[in-house]
């Protein structure tokens, strides 16, 4: 085989393994691989080289990036910090001046965070869905109009008590997520479910099935719907063994997802009146955490998780719940890495064009993590990640990306609902426009 | 329910974990070579692992775990092909059939190649190792890495290409591979 052919094959291999190959290049390589044993041999060697480089680099990647390659500290935080300081001073003056009267949320005082008006139908504020007042943020004395910012805003993570609680090991506040969800317009909340668990379990990829459990648990808790919670719990139960298996082989992507969603889901369940009827099942799932976590501990903290954001939420949630400092610390390591990996445009997932549902998962988890542990960097990451989703939706309109391109992916119903969830939570916390978009997601 | 899925218990479970850990990279390499799109390969790999877990009692312990596992992986790849579009499953059934058996045999040398690659990477210059780290560690698109480093993306592609070629030749030298394409 000539050097010229060798070079040609090499270029094709590079393109295929980098996932930049055109259809013609793939076709050309297929023909050559099929026809020539020497090309096949080179192909196998190249695949081993490509995967081997990734393995070896990942194994020793706990060290930070070299200084000249490191992403600059978020420059936007500097003006934001100055603005926040000004706002804090202004807010203090305002509060003192109004001594004892209603305290306004920080988010409402910053113009750049002021949510745009929502054009939600009046039915969104049916009497039975009026959200209970949150301990961290009093309801406005005047009932808000349907869809107004005050109506949809959840507890600000930067608000007084939580900010004070920071650093003093606050009790996990998973119930905040449920409280936030109670502020989602009821028709949307009702639609935020993964129907027919049996179907999900038969055909779902891990990307959709584990979040399905949490979505049903959370929304069931918010709606007081025990049947829906049961459905969510069944999904969590049924995905447990596969998660265990996946972790065993070191392919921790799905396991991280399962751990994160299951841990948060069970906590959401436990905070409800219906929890007692699920006691035994909750215990069984908690027992399943044991062997998985023992394997997790042998690998965690290295900063090499396949899905660092999900891993970080899982480790932090479970570590704090069980008082396991090592696990919590491992979660912090992964969280640092996850935030470092966030792209300038706000995307958290590696390939947003095709993995918008994974990005949406991360947005939901970011909001859940904020309820668990207030953190400025996570809040900023959640804001920009949610903004990306809004732009994505406004650009595409349906959550369905180019279905004919080389990176086409299917936004099957559960994945669209993940997107709805992310938009709803982002809308409640930061930007009500996202609620409108959540309603527009095609089913 | 949690306990209804099956799979090995006790000592058998330990053995399964040990075998899978030992051969994980090779099995994934097998899948990836038949399905060279990382996200798809990972999905199929996970499904393969689940199948292996459930069918572990059918493994003859006197035979190679890797070979047995590759048989299941092949089925999962073929199964994937029924549902995936042409763009994602561009190696047709004929090509896969031709490659699958050969690849399973080729994997006998996988561990040696990986060990050689580790040694070869240690012989790279600091700049070369740094570039590989950036390209592989965060799995970012190379154009983003180029932007981050303030360099042209094509330049990075070329440099990475040279490094990989250098590594490939080094691995071949260390493993005593000769003939064919280089």
Neighbouring residues of A99: CB distance < 8 A, sequence distance ≥ 6: none
| Whether B181 contacts chain A with CB within 8 A | yes
pLDDT of residue B87: 60
- Which of A40-44, A194-198, A259-263, B88-92 shows the lowest mean pLDDT across its residues? A194-198
**Cβ atoms A354, A141 nearer than 8 A:** no
Q: What percent of chain A has pLDDT over 90?
A: 5
Asked whether the CA dihedral A78, A82, A88, A94 is positive or negative, the reply is negative
Q: Is the pLDDT of residue A136 over 80?
A: no
To the nearest whole Å, the CA of B113 is away from the closest chain A CA by 8
Q: Which member of B95, B138, B167 has the closest CB to residue A33?
A: B95
Q: What is the pTM for the complete model shown? A: 0.56
Q: Is the pLDDT of residue A255 over 50?
A: yes
Give, in degrees to the nearest 5, the angle at Cα A59 between A377 and B133: 70
Higher pLDDT, A152 or A255: A255
Q: Is the pLDDT of residue A409 over 90?
A: no
Closest CA to A330 of A373, A275, A293: A293
What's the first-to-final CA gap in chain A, in angstroms? 54
Contacts of A251 in chain B (CB under 8 A): 24, 28, 42, 45-46, 49
Q: Which residue of B has its CA nearest to A22?
A: B87
Q: Is the pLDDT of residue A238 over 60?
A: yes
pLDDT of residue B150: 83
How big, in percent rounded to 5, are the helix, strand and coil portions of chain A?
65, 0, 30
Q: Which member of B5, B29, B180 has the closest CB to residue A48?
A: B29
pLDDT of residue A61: 58
Higher pLDDT, A361 or A156: A361
Contact A33 B99 (CB under 8 A): yes
**What is the rounded CA–CA span in Å between residue A61 and residue A303?**
7
Q: How many beta-carbon pairs under 8 angstroms link A with B?
A: 171
| Whether A412 contacts chain B with CB within 8 A | no
Backbone dihedral region of A159: left (phi > 0), alpha (psi from -120 to 50 degrees) or beta? Answer: beta
| Whether B14 contacts chain A with CB within 8 A | no
| Whether B182 contacts chain A with CB within 8 A | yes
To the nearest whole Å, the CA of A383 is away from the closest chain B CA by 21
- Which of A88-92, A412-416, A438-442, B176-180 shows the lowest mean pLDDT across its residues? A88-92
Q: Is the pLDDT of residue A347 over 70?
A: yes
The CA distances from residue A78 to A81, A168, B148, in Å, are 5, 25, 20
pLDDT of residue A295: 63
Contact A49 B164 (CB under 8 A): yes
The CA distances from residue B22 to A152, A249, A297, A336, B175, in Å, are 52, 9, 19, 30, 20
pLDDT of residue B27: 92
- What average pLDDT does range A146-169 have in this prediction? 32
- What average pLDDT does range B81-92 have in this prediction? 68
Q: Is the pLDDT of residue B73 over 60?
A: yes
| Cβ neighbourhood burial of A125 (10 Å; 0-12, 13-18, 19+) | buried
pLDDT of residue A110: 30
Q: How confident is the model at residue A89 (pLDDT cuts 50, 70, 90)?
A: very low
**What is the rounded CA–CA span in Å between residue A197 and residue A202?**
9
| Whether B177 contacts chain A with CB within 8 A | yes
- Which of A72-81, A386-395, B97-106, B164-173 shows the lowest mean pLDDT across its residues? A72-81
pLDDT digits (tens, 9 = 90+) for B96-135: 888 888 888 888 888 899 999 999 999 999 989 888 888 8
- What average pLDDT does range B52-81 have in this prediction? 89
Contact A285 B168 (CB under 8 A): no
Neighbouring residues of A214: CB distance < 8 A, sequence distance ≥ 6: A232, A236, A261, A262, A264, A265, A268
pLDDT digits (tens, 9 = 90+) for A375-403: 899 999 999 999 988 888 877 645 444 44
Contact B130 A66 (CB under 8 A): yes
**Exposure on the CB side of residue A419, measured as CA atoms within 13 A:** 33
Contact B182 A6 (CB under 8 A): yes
Q: Is the pLDDT of residue A83 over 80?
A: no
| Whether A65 contacts chain B with CB within 8 A | yes
- What average pLDDT does range A104-127 have in this prediction? 28
- Which of A65-69, A180-184, B73-77, B168-172 shows the lowest mean pLDDT across its residues? A65-69
- What average pLDDT does range A18-36 have in this prediction? 85
**What is the rounded CA–CA span in Å between residue A181 and residue A221?**
9
Q: Which member of A19, A47, A248 has the closest CB to residue B33?
A: A47
**ipTM, 2 decimals?**
0.90
Place of tokens 């980098």: A18
| Average confidence score pLDDT of chain B | 81
pLDDT of residue A172: 43
| Whether A250 contacts chain B with CB within 8 A | yes
The CA distances from residue A144 to A122, A153, A187, A285, B166, in Å, are 12, 11, 18, 41, 67
Place of tokens 């650093």: A167
**Cβ atoms A361, A256 nearer than 8 A:** no
Contact A48 B121 (CB under 8 A): no
**What is the rounded CA–CA span in Å between residue B81 and residue B88?**
8
Q: What percent of chain A has pLDDT over 70?
A: 55
Closest CA to A146 of A114, A193, A181, A183: A183
Higher pLDDT, A28 or A63: A28
Contacts of B85 in chain A (CB under 8 A): 408
Neighbouring residues of A270: CB distance < 8 A, sequence distance ≥ 6: A282
Q: Is the pLDDT of residue A406 over 60?
A: no
Q: Which member of B2, B95, B133 has the closest CB to residue A57?
A: B133
Compute how many other C-beta atoms are within 10 angstroms of the C-beta atom of residue A284: 14
Q: Which of A16, A72, A245 to mutate to test the interface with B (most CBs of B within 10 A)?
A: A245
| Average confidence score pLDDT of chain A | 65
Contact B161 A408 (CB under 8 A): no
pLDDT digits (tens, 9 = 90+) for A413-440: 666 777 888 898 899 888 888 988 888 7
**What is the rounded CA–CA span in Å between residue A350 and residue A342?**
9
- What average pLDDT does range A311-326 have in this prediction? 83
């Amino acid at each position: 085989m000539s050097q010229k052919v060798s070079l040609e094959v090499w270029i094709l291999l590079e393109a295929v393994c980098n996932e930049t190959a055109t259809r013609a290049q793939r076709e050309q390589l297929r023909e050559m691989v099929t026809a020539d044993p020497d090309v096949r041999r080179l192909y196998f060697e190249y695949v081993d080289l490509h995967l081997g480089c990734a393995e070896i680099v990942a194994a020793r990647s706990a060290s930070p990036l070299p200084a000249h390659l490191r992403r600059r500290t978020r420059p936007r935080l500097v003006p934001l910090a100055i603005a926040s300081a000004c706002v804090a001073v202004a807010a203090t003056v305002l509060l003192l001046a109004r001594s004892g009267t209603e305290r306004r949320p920080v988010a409402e005082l910053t113009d750049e965070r002021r949510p745009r008006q929502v054009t939600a139908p009046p039915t969104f504020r049916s009497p039975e869905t009026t959200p209970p007042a949150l301990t961290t943020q009093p309801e406005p004395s005047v009932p808000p109009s349907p869809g107004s910012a005050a109506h949809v805003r959840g507890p600000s993570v930067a608000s007084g008590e939580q900010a004070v609680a920071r650093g003093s090991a606050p009790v996990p506040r998973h119930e905040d997520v449920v409280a936030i969800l109670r502020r989602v317009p009821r028709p949307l909340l009702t639609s935020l479910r993964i129907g027919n668990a049996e179907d999900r379990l038969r055909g779902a990829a891990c990307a959709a099935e584990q979040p399905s459990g949490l979505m049903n648990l959370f929304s069931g808790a918010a709606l007081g719907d025990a049947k829906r919670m049961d459905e969510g719990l069944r999904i969590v139960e049924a995905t447990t063994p596969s998660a265990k298996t996946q972790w065993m082989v070191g392919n921790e992507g799905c396991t991280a997802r399962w751990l994160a969603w299951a841990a948060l889901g069970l906590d959401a369940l436990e905070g409800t009146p219906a929890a007692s009827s699920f006691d035994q099942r909750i215990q069984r799932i908690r027992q399943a955490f044991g062997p998985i976590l023992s394997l997790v501990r042998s690998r965690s903290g290295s900063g090499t998780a396949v899905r660092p954001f999900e891993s970080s939420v899982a480790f932090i949630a479970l570590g704090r719940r069980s008082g396991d400092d090592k696990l919590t610390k491992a979660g912090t390591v992964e969280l640092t890495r996850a935030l470092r990996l966030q792209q300038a445009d706000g995307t958290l997932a590696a390939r947003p064009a095709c993995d918008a549902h994974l990005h949406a998962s991360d947005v939901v988890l970011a909001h859940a993590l904020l309820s668990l542990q207030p953190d400025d960097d996570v809040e900023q990451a959640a804001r920009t990640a949610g903004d990306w989703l809004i732009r994505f939706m406004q650009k595409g309109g349906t959550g369905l990306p180019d279905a004919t391109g080389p990176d086409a992916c299917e936004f099957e119903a559960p994945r669209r609902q993940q997107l709805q969830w992310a938009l709803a939570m982002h809308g409640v916390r930061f930007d009500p426009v996202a609620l409108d978009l959540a309603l527009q997601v095609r089913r | 329910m949690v306990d209804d899925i099956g799979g090995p218990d006790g000592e058998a479970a330990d053995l399964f974990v040990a075998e899978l850990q030992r051969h994980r990279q090779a099995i994934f390499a097998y899948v990836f070579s038949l399905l060279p799109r990382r996200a798809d390969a990972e999905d199929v790999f996970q499904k393969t692992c689940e199948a292996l877990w459930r069918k572990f009692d059918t493994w003859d312990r006197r035979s190679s775990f890797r070979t047995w596992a590759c048989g299941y992986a092949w089925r999962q790849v073929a199964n994937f092909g029924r549902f995936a579009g042409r763009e994602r499953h561009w190696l047709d059934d004929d090509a896969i059939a031709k490659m699958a058996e050969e690849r399973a045999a080729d994997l006998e040398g996988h561990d040696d190649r990986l060990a050689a690659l580790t040694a070869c990477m240690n012989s790279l210059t600091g700049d070369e190792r740094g570039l590989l780290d950036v390209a592989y560690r965060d799995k970012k698109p190379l154009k983003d890495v180029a932007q981050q480093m303030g360099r042209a993306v094509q330049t990075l592609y070329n440099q990475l290409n040279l490094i990989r070629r250098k590594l490939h030749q080094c691995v071949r030298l260390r493993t005593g591979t000769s003939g064919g394409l280089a």
